[in-house]
Amino acid sequence: MLKPDGKASSSGINNGYAQYFTFTFTSDIDISAQRRTIMAKSKKTAKLSCSNSESKTPTVSDKTILNTNYIVTEQAESINEFVSKMPNSSDRLREYGYDNAIAPTAGYTVAQKSSEFTASTCSEKIGTAKTGSLAPLGSNATISSLNRVRVDATDQSLTTNHGVKVSDNQNSLKVGLRGPSLLEDFILREKITHFDHERIPERVVHARGSAAHGYFEAYDSISKYTIAAPFAEKGKKTPVFVRFSTVAGERGSKDTARDARGFAVKFYTEEGNWDLVGNNIPVFFIQDAMKFPDLVHAVKPEPHHGMPQAASAHDTFWDFVSLMPESTHMLMWIMSDRAIPRSYRMMQGFGVHTFRLINDQNQSVFCKFHWKPLLGTHSLVWDEAVKISGVDPDFHRRDLWEAIESGESPEWELGLQIFSEAQAESFTFDVLDSTKLIPEELVPLIPVGRMVLNRNPDNFFAETEQVAFCTAHIIPGIDFSNDPLLAGRIHSYIDTQITRLGGPNFHEIPINSALGHVQNNQRDGMHRQALHRGRVAYEPNSLAGGCPFQAGTAGFVSFPEAFSADKMRGKPEKFSEHYAQATLFYNSQTAIEQAHIASAFRFELSKVEVLAIRDRMLSSLVNVSEELAAEVAKGLGMEVPEAMPKAFIELSQPEVSISPSLSLTALPGECGIRSRQIAILIEDGVEQASLAELYNALIEAGAVVHFVGSRVGMFEGVNGEKIVANKSMENSPSVLFDALMLSDGIKSVQALASNVDTMAFVKDAFRHGKTILAIGAAKQLLEMAGIATVNNSDHGILMTTSDELGEMTSEIIDAIAAHRHLSRESEFVK
C-alpha cells in the first residue's frame, strides 16, 4: 500500500523483496541516457547478462583430459557420487513375507552434503519477489512468493495427501500374502485415483510451450505517458514469468514446426498482474474475433483423419486463407524464416494490438509493444528444421533451459511505438486492424527497459502448464483500444482458463497469484484456497465497516472515450486493403529471405491436394508480388493466374515501401558467440595442441564446445593425450550445432574420412550455411565433401594450419558470430 508521501509501507510486503517495490514517481524522461547507463553497467558487471559471472573458464594443457560443458560435468559428477551411496535394492529383500507385512521397515536415506543435489534447477538460488528463493529442506510451506508452495521431502516420511504416514509403498492390502486385494485399501485408492486425474485439458492453441522466470528493469520513468507500475521510475525491477509457444501443435508436438510463436509476459506488479500476451510476429491472420474459431478449425488437423499435426501444409488451412485476403500479410511472415527461429532466445516479440497508455492526468496515447532480443534475430533453414524435429523435438525447450542453467540469461529490450489518435487517423491503414503493423519509419521505437530471464521453473506442470495468461489482465495506466480482435481475446482467454484449470479460481494457483493484496467479495467455486474471516461477502455493507471498499481514482479507471455511432456489424473501409503491407514485408527482405518465402509457399501448396485452392492462393499472391507468384507457380508446374480482385482499390499510396527493420538481418545481436553450440569432430590420432588452443579460444569467447566423435567416450591424441567426446555423430548430427570445426591429425582425419557419418555431417553443415573451419590435414574432408578448399570468410569457409591457428582466432569468432552464411545459396537465387 502507498502512504500519502508516495513511499511504500512495509505492510503486506516481504522485506526481503523490497528492491522490487519502489514507488517514487518522476516525470523526467531521458530514456536514451538512462538506457546507456543501465546497459553499460549491465555489460560491465554481468557481461551483458549473456554469461555466468561466477563461472570460471577452464584451460587446457597437454596431457590433460579435455571435458566439454564443464559446469554441467562438475554437477553431474557430484550428483553421481551422491546417488551412488544409495544401495542397489539392498533393502528390497525385507519387503516380502509376514514379518514385513505387519512391521514394514523404514526407507533407507542418504544425508545430503548440498541441497543442490536434489534441486530441479541450478538456477533456483536466483529469486524475485514472486519466485522467492530455495525451498526450505524437509518442509511443505504451502501454508507473497512461491516459497509458500515449495515442498522438499528431505528426512520426511512418506504420507498420504491427508498426512497419514505410509508404512508400505510397495504392496497393496491383501487377505494373506496370496489372497485378493481389499477395497478398503485407501492408500492404494488415493494413489491410483490421483494418477488417473493428473492430466488437465491442454490449451486449444499455444499448447506446446516453455517458460522461465526473470525480471523487467525500467530505464527511466515514462510517467509523461503512463502511470503503469513497471515504468514508474529508473531502475525499477518487476518480476516476470514468460512463456514461449507454438500455436497450432498439440502439447506433445515438435518445437521446430513452421508456425507463429507465442511470446507471453506476465508482470507481477504491486498494482496487480499485467499480461502482455503477444507473438513473435506483429500481425495476425484475421481482423475480427468472429473469425478466430474458423481460423483455428482450419489450421488444426483435419477432423476426418486427424492429420497433419503441428503443420499448416494441408487443404483446409489454405482453403480458408485463400478465401480470406486479410490473411495475406500474416502469410508472408509465416512463410518467412521468422516462423522457424533458431531459438526462443533469438526471436522478437510483439504485443500485436494497439493499446492505450494513460498518465496521471487521464491523458491517453496509443502504443504498440516490441521486444528485441540481445542475441539478435536468427532462424533455422527449412531442411535443418525438419531434421532437428526428428533428432530433438524439444530443441527450443532444451536450448532455453540449458542456457539459463549455464548462467546465459537471455535478454530482450522493450521498445514502445507511441503515437496520438491524430497520427493514427492520418495513416493510410487502420491501427485497429491487427493484420497491419506500423513501420518504424513512421513511428520510431522508444526503448524503455530490458527483460532478463534468469531462473528456470521448479516444476513444469505447476508453473509452465498451469500459468494462465489473459489479455484482460491489465493494470492502471494501460487500457484497450477498439481493436475487434482484441475485444474477442479479452473474453476468450478467461473463458478457456476456466475450462482448463477447473473453475473460476485459477488466479489462486501459485504461478498466477498476484503479489499485491487481493481483497474482494468473490467466494466459493471449485478449488477455492482463501479462508475469509467474517460473514460479509457483499458491498456496500456495514457489518464489515464498509470493507473492502472501492478504490475510486486510486484504482483502475477506463479511459472515457466518447462514442456516437449506430450499432452494426461491419468493418471500416481502411480494413479492406489487404496487400500493401504484405508487399512491404516482401520487398523489405533480402534476396535470400525472399527465396525462402517462395520455397515455403511451394512446399505448403504442393501438399494441397485440391488444385483449385492452389490456383486461388496464387491469384492472391499476384497482388503481393508478380515475381513471387511466378516463382511459386514454377515449382508447382502451374501458370500464373490473373490477380484476385481486390476488395477496395481507391486508397492512398502507402507511406513506406521498404522497411529494413522487417528483415531478420536487421538485428544481428550484441553477444558475439556467447552460448553458440560448436562441434569439433575428433578421432583417435587427433593433433591435441591445436585442438586445445581452439577449444580455449572458443570457450573464452563464451561458446559451448562439444567434442563429437564416431562414438561417445575417450579418444587418444597423437601423443597419447586423452580427450572425451560427450556426443557422437550418430546421436548429435550437425543440425544441432551452430558451427563445425575439423581438427588436425592425419590418423584422425583418415578415420573420419572412412566414416559415412562424417560426410553427412560436413555436407549438412555446409548446406545450412554454418561456419566451417578445417585445420591442417582436415582440408581433405572438405575436398571429399565437394567443398571448395579456398579460404573464404565471407562464405564462412576457413582453413589454416595448426601452427597458424592462433593468428586466425578473431576471424573464426567473427565468422561464427555471423550465425549463418546464406550467401552460399546465392547460386540458387537468380
- Please tell me which residue in 147, 206, 329, 596 is annotated as part of the active site: 206
Helix (H) or strand (E) holding 413: strand 411-419
Q: Which residues of 479-506 are buried (b: 16+ CB within 10 A; e: fewer)?
A: bbbebbbbbbbbebbbebbeebbbebbb
Q: Return phi, psi of residue 727, to 5°.
A: -140, 160
As given in the structure block, the three cell numbers for residue 590 are: 533480402
Helix, strand, coil content of the chain in percent (nearest 5): 35, 15, 50
What's the rounded Cα separation, in Å, for the pair 749 and 322? 53
Instruction: Tell me the per-residue pLDDT of 201-260, one tens digit each, with 9 for 90 and over.
Output: 999 999 999 999 999 999 999 999 999 999 999 999 999 999 999 999 999 999 999 999
Tell which phi-psi region holds residue 775, choosing left (phi > 0), alpha (psi between -120 and 50) or beta: beta
Residue 543, pLDDT above cutoff 80: no
Percent of the chain with pLDDT over 90: 66
Look up 206 and say whether it is catalytic: yes
pLDDT (tens digit per residue) in 582-624 = 999 999 999 999 999 999 999 999 999 999 999 999 999 999 9
Closest of 483, 706, 458 to residue 575, by C-alpha: 483
- Per residue in 128-175, pLDDT (tens digit) is 888 887 766 665 454 478 887 888 888 888 888 888 888 888 888 989
pLDDT exceeds cutoff 80 at 37: no
pLDDT at 90: 56
pLDDT for position 265: 98
Which residues lie below 8 Å from residue 458, measured CB to CB, with a gap of 6+? 120, 121, 124, 135, 146, 150
Give the pLDDT score at 45: 40
Task: Judge whether 755 and 694 are in contact, CB under 8 Å.
Answer: no
Q: Is position 279 annotated as part of the catalytic site?
A: yes
| Cα gap 374→410, rounded to integer Å | 7
Closest CA to 274 of 319, 228, 317: 228
What are the counts of helices (DSSP H) followed by strands (DSSP E) for the chain? 20, 18
pTM confidence score:
0.86
Partnered with residue 302 across adjacent β-strands are 307
Selection from 740, 725, 593 nearest residue 679 by Cα: 740
Beta pairing, strands 349-350 & 722-725: unpaired
Catalytic residue among 147, 273, 279, 512: 279
What are phi and psi for residue 153, nearest 5 degrees?
Answer: -100, 15
Kindly report the length of the chain: 830
For position 40, what pLDDT does the model report?
Answer: 53
The CA distance from 786 to 648, in Å, is 53
Strand bridging mode 261-269 / 677-681? unpaired
